[in-house]
């Protein structure tokens, strides 16, 4: 059986991501795919906060082709920062009234580490590629997603329905609907604490799988630990959830998890 890996939230840190994938045996010294028939999931937030979001995106896009040619696969998943960047590209400074609050994508982008160099490189082809990424996926017993929230269920009761609803919104021109996607993907920490296992089980019962794999919430923040105190993903919520966001932009490690 081929091996399955997941990483998340590289946030423009191309060197660190490349090094982590090489150490996992998935890239060679020239940063080309060497993982054979392995599958790699990249769970969103490819850009913003770090120096080279476009470089990270270019690497992931190239690896999807190289892995496929080798009998493997690389699957990127939509994160909230992709939606921020695309919304800024599409709507800019336009004021949007959402739930009674006046918002703009550009102001949210600026507050969340958006880089002008990344924005400048989002052409029509890249926009379409990012907007078409799945929001959630199943791989065997693993339910793979960016954000640690049950909010995905507001889009539908199956992986296919959720991805269809998100893609339809991001193919459209309704800024309020776009903000719904952004805010829902911004939710977090819903599998933590006393009620966390029940929330995780509810999501798994609805969408299938035995374990959630997510990024978005830095392990150090979720468990109130220094980001330099851990070097492995964190299994929690009665072993129903695996957090793989090491917090690279905050000085934490770029984690690549081999999924059991």
Chain segment 224-241, per-residue pLDDT in tens: 999 999 999 999 999 999
Rounded Cα–Cα distance for residues 162 and 155 (Å): 5
**Which residues are CB-contacts of 203 (< 8 A; sequence separation ≥ 6)?**
143, 150, 152, 153, 212
Rounded Cα–Cα distance for residues 151 and 184 (Å): 6
**Residue 260, pLDDT score:** 82
**Which residues are CB-contacts of 21 (< 8 A; sequence separation ≥ 6)?**
7, 27, 40, 256
Tens of pLDDT, residue by residue over 138-156, are 999 999 999 999 999 999 9
Query: Average of pLDDT values for 4-31?
Result: 98
Query: Average of pLDDT values for 13-22?
Result: 98
- Return mean pLDDT, the chain: 97
The pTM score is 0.97
| Angle formed by the axes of helices 53-69 and 14-23, nearest 10° | 30
Residue 114 phi, psi dihedral angles, 5° rounding: -65, 140
Q: Which helix (H) or strand (E) holds 119?
A: helix 116-120
For the CA atoms of the chain, what is the radius of gyration? 17
Residue 97, classed as helix, strand or coil, is: strand
Query: Average of pLDDT values for 42-69?
Result: 98
Residue 144, classed as helix, strand or coil, is: strand
Residue 6 phi, psi dihedral angles, 5° rounding: -145, 145
CB distance 81 to 48 below 8 Å: yes
**Residue 221, pLDDT score:** 97
Taking residue 192's Cβ as centre, other Cβ atoms within 10 Å add up to 19
**Residue 85, pLDDT score:** 98
**Residue 99, pLDDT score:** 86
**Residue 52, pLDDT score:** 97
Query: Average of pLDDT values for 47-76?
Result: 98
Give just the sign of the alpha carbon dihedral 84, 245, 212, 238. Answer: negative
**Residue 225, pLDDT score:** 97
| Angle formed by the axes of helices 80-91 and 124-131, nearest 10° | 140
Give the closest residue to 232 by CA, choosing from 208, 206, 255: 255
**Exposure string over 68-88, b if 16+ CB within 10 A, otherwise e:** eeeebbbbbbbbbbbbbbbbb
Tens of pLDDT, residue by residue over 167-182, are 999 999 999 999 999 9
Query: Average of pLDDT values for 40-54?
Result: 97
Rounded Cα–Cα distance for residues 179 and 96 (Å): 9
Residue 220 phi, psi dihedral angles, 5° rounding: -60, -40
| Confidence class for position 83, pLDDT limits 50, 70, 90 | very high
Domain boundaries, the chain: 4-259
Residue 159 pLDDT > 90? yes
Residue 1 pLDDT > 90? no
Taking residue 41's Cβ as centre, other Cβ atoms within 10 Å add up to 25
CB distance 33 to 63 below 8 Å: yes
Q: What is the dotted CATH code of the domain comprising 4-259?
A: 3.60.21.10
Tens of pLDDT, residue by residue over 86-131, are 999 999 999 999 889 899 999 999 999 999 999 999 999 999 999 9
């Amino acid at each position: 059986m081929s091996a399955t890996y997941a990483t998340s939230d590289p946030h423009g840190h191309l060197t660190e991501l490349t090094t982590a994938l090489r150490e996992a045996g998935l890239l060679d010294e020239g940063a080309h795919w060497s993982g054979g028939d392995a599958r790699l999931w990249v769970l969103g937030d490819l850009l913003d906060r770090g120096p080279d979001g476009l470089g990270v995106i270019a690497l992931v896009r190239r690896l999807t082709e190289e892995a496929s040619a080798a009998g493997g696969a690389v699957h990127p998943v939509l994160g909230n920062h992709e939606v921020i960047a695309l919304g800024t590209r599409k709507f800019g400074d336009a004021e949007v009234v959402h739930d009674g609050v006046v918002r703009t994508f550009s102001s949210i982008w600026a507050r969340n580490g958006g880089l002008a160099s990344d924005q400048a490189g989002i052409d029509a082809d890249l926009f379409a590629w990012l907007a078409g990424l799945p929001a959630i996926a199943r791989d065997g017993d693993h339910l793979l997603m960016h954000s640690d929230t049950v909010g995905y269920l507001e889009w539908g009761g199956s992986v296919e329905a959720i991805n269809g609803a998100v893609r339809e919104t991001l193919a459209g021109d309704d800024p309020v609907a776009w903000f719904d996607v952004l805010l829902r993907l911004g939710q977090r920490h819903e599998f933590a604490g006393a009620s966390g296992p029940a929330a995780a089980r509810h999501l798994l019962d609805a969408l299938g799988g035995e374990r959630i794999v997510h990024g978005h919430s830095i392990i150090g923040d979720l468990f109130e630990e220094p980001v330099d105190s851990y070097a492995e993903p964190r299994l929690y919520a009665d072993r129903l959830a695996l957090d793989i966001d090491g917090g690279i932009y905050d000085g934490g490690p770029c984690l690549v998890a081999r999924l059991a």
